[in-house]
């Protein structure tokens, strides 16, 4: 508002010069590959929280009184963005996992993964995957089940031992 009022007093040429300088600075920033990647990553960090809230609204991920999860922060990552969500009462990580398809479509992403919070059960982290990280693809991990012998028959291992062997783990890109 102040710039428009000052531009009105100083004339239109001043506003045109200011707009030209801003466009030149933006073009210089986009000319360098590293700066361009950082600007695009920051732009996605501004766009993604709104898209996550829209996806949660359409997937009906909300508390009984209608509140949506609160976006705590959005951080760029090599694969896209990480979005930390504060889930209110009776909103669980399972609700977000059930809404992955809707969130993926709402965020315009390849995939959306739900990762539990490190310290708090009510904080969930959405990993919005837009592209594969640079570098060679990871080697596929081969899981050997200790309860099967060579013929594919079970040798009577207990379910608890199998559950401890397989584990849940965190799947990160």
Q: So what's the pLDDT on residue 85? A: 92
Domain ranges of the chain: 47-129
pLDDT at 103: 94
The C-alpha atoms of residue 162 and residue 145 are separated, in whole angstroms, by 8
pTM, full prediction: 0.63
Show the low-confidence residues of the chain (pLDDT under 50).
141-145, 147, 157-173
153 burial level (CB within 10 Å; 0-12, 13-18, 19+): exposed
Q: Determine the topology of domain 47-129 in CATH.
A: 3.30.980
Residue 46: the pLDDT is 94
């Amino acid at each position: 508002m102040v710039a428009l009022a000052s531009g009105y007093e100083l004339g239109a040429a001043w506003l045109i010069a200011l707009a030209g300088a801003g466009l030149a600075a933006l073009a210089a920033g986009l000319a360098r590959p590293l700066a361009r990647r950082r600007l695009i990553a920051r732009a996605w960090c501004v766009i993604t929280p709104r898209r996550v809230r829209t996806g949660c609204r359409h997937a009906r991920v909300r508390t009984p009184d209608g509140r949506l999860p609160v976006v705590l922060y959005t951080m760029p990552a090599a694969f896209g963005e990480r979005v930390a969500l504060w889930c209110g009462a009776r909103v669980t990580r399972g609700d977000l996992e059930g809404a992955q398809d809707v969130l993926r479509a709402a965020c315009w992403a390849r995939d959306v993964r739900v990762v539990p919070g490190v310290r708090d059960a009510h904080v969930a982290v959405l990993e919005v995957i837009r592209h594969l990280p640079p570098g060679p693809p990871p080697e596929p991990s081969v899981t050997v089940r200790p309860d099967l012998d060579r013929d594919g028959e079970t040798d009577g291992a207990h379910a608890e031992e199998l559950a401890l062997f397989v584990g849940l783990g965190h799947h990160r890109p």
